[in-house]
Amino acid sequence: MKVFKKTFTQQEPIPAEGIAAAIEVMSSGRLHRYNTQPGEKSETDLLELEFAEYLGIPYCLACSSGGYALHIAMKAAGVQPGDKVLSNAFTLAPVPGAIHNCGAVPVLVDVAEDYCIDLNDLENKAEESGAKYFLLSHMRGHIADMDRVIEICKRFNLFLIEDCAHTMGASWNGKKSGTFGDIACFSTQTYKHLNSGEGGLLTTHHQDVMAKAIIHSGSYMLFDRHFAAPPEEIFEQIRYETANYSGRMDNLRAAILRPQLASLNIQCEQWTQRYQAIEKILAHCSLVQIPTRPKAEFFVGSSIQFSLPRFSTEQILRLMSCCEDRGVVLKWFGDPEPKGYTSRYDSWRYIQEEPQLPKTKEILATLLDMRIPLTFSKDDCELIADIIVETIEECK
Ligand SMILES: Cc1ncc(COP(=O)(O)O)c(C=O)c1O
């Protein structure tokens, strides 16, 4: 019997260049982003400039986590307590959590068969709710038709915040994910496409939004020390009216991120090759449903999702358990109990009115998920896919 022996939570080591840069920061003792000599740019400053350049967006702020970036993005956009914010029902808990952290109310939108947000439901909910903000999570790297998303945002005058925690390096029709909306937020937490343990990046082309985000992040009155930022005069009034919610990035994290950013595109290709190796084998199993990725989408296959629409709950549970016995760790988005990193929308009970989303519940009921760390080779991926298919056959 084939068994897989590697671990699904093992990421690659930090590149030697990043370790050397981190040692230099530690040796200097100057870990705080504003602890610079006159005229010097800190590692955090350089990371912001380099990420802004990578995306082709003028302003970037490095902060303590992706969830924190989402929170201050909404605050900087003007979300007030009680405001409605449209967002995906199929996403991870930091997304509705960031909305709740603003005192705002999530209006959850159904998932579609391709695991993207359901754009028909988005239109309906935008109309019904009158929401003015839309936090779009490109959940698990599945990018919705961005041309239609933008058309809907224009029609309903929605302020769009993209959650790119899973799409750093991805694009739609050649345009990078995170450059469609008013603001984009990225995560550099260990299991994302850049790894600093914890960390986040917020980008925007709006001067006032970035000025507020910088003050929120805990710049004290050192905003003039930011380089991927609007001119000082934009802060003139904002600095009195914007609260400090300390959540800065430090130079140590920035130092290990910069060399990773330099090789992000190569890494993304590698993820996608591994994804395709798994997809090819799974697609041969008639019980498996995997959405065909649209031609316009350049995705980063750092995880894979597939459905088993003919499987009952008991069969899904048996499959997961048998796969685990053979070293393959699958997660289930349909589990009514929140477990590990997955939680179904109806377990977010702080949302006052439980959303009624039977279509989403039905899709999530047989939706499975698996991480693809780059420590797995293409051969490893083929072995994993073989084990999954064999186990599906056993459980059918
Ligand atoms: C879809 C999604 N959005 C946002 C976040 C928040 O990122 P962080 O863990 O850096 O707060 C995560 C993290 O898991 C996520 O999966």
Per-residue H/E/C for 111-129: ECCCCCECHHHHHHHHHHH
pLDDT recorded at residue 103:
97
Is the pLDDT score of 270 beyond 90?
yes
Ligand 1 atom closest to the Cα of residue 137 is 1
The span from the CA of 236 to the CA of 191, in Å, is: 38
Is the pLDDT score of 313 beyond 90?
yes
Ligand 1 atom closest to the Cα of residue 65 is 10
The span from the CA of 59 to the CA of 207, in Å, is: 8
pLDDT in tens, 45-56: 999 999 999 999
Percent of the chain at pLDDT exceeding 90: 97
Q: Which of 71, 74, 91, 92 should be mutated for ligand 1, with most atoms under 8 A from CB? A: 92
The encoded tokens of residue 86 equal 């449209």
pLDDT recorded at residue 353:
80
DSSP-assigned beta bridge partners for residue 87: 108, 135
pLDDT in tens, 180-222: 999 999 999 999 999 999 999 999 999 999 999 999 999 999 9
pLDDT recorded at residue 25:
98
More confident residue, 115 or 354: 115
Helix (H, G, I), strand (E, B) or coil at 83: coil
CATH (one of 3.10.129.10, 3.90.1150.10, 3.30.70.270, 1.20.1600.10) for 264-395: 3.90.1150.10
Residues with CB under 6 A from ligand 1: 65-67, 91-92, 94-95, 137, 139, 163, 165-166, 187, 189, 200
Residue type, 57: I
Phi, psi of 79 (to 5 degrees): -60, 130
**d(CA 70, ligand 1 centre) in Å:** 9
Cα 346 to Cα 163, 271, 349, distances in angstroms: 21, 31, 7
pLDDT recorded at residue 352:
78
Burial bucket for residue 379 (CB in 10 Å: 0-12, 13-18, 19+):
exposed
> Token match 């990193």: residue?
341
Helix (H, G, I), strand (E, B) or coil at 248: strand
Ligand 1 atom closest to the Cα of residue 68 is 11
**d(CA 163, ligand 1 centre) in Å:** 8
pTM of the model: 0.98
DSSP-assigned beta bridge partners for residue 88: 109
DSSP-assigned beta bridge partners for residue 187: 200
Mean pLDDT rounded to a whole number for the chain: 97
**Where are the CATH 3.90.1150.10 domain residues in the chain?**
264-395
The span from the CA of 361 to the CA of 336, in Å, is: 10
pLDDT in tens, 336-380: 999 988 899 999 999 978 889 999 999 999 999 999 999 999 999
Is the pLDDT score of 299 beyond 90?
yes
**Where are the CATH 3.40.640.10 domain residues in the chain?**
16-262
Percent of the chain at pLDDT exceeding 70: 100
pLDDT recorded at residue 44:
98
Q: How many residues does the chain have?
A: 396
CATH (one of 1.10.1660.10, 3.90.1150.10, 3.40.640.10, 3.40.50.2030) for 16-262: 3.40.640.10
pLDDT recorded at residue 30:
97
The span from the CA of 359 to the CA of 375, in Å, is: 36
Q: Is 115 left (phi over 0), alpha (psi -120 to 50) or beta?
A: left
Query: Where does the pLDDT of residue 82 fall: very low under 50, low under 70, confident under 90, or very high at 90 and above?
Result: very high
Atom 16, ligand 1: which residue's CA is nearest?
92
Helix ranges (H only) for the chain are 16-28, 43-55, 66-77, 94-101, 119-129, 146-155, 207-216, 235-241, 251-262, 264-282, 313-325, 358-364, 378-395
**d(CA 209, ligand 1 centre) in Å:** 21
**d(CA 185, ligand 1 centre) in Å:** 9
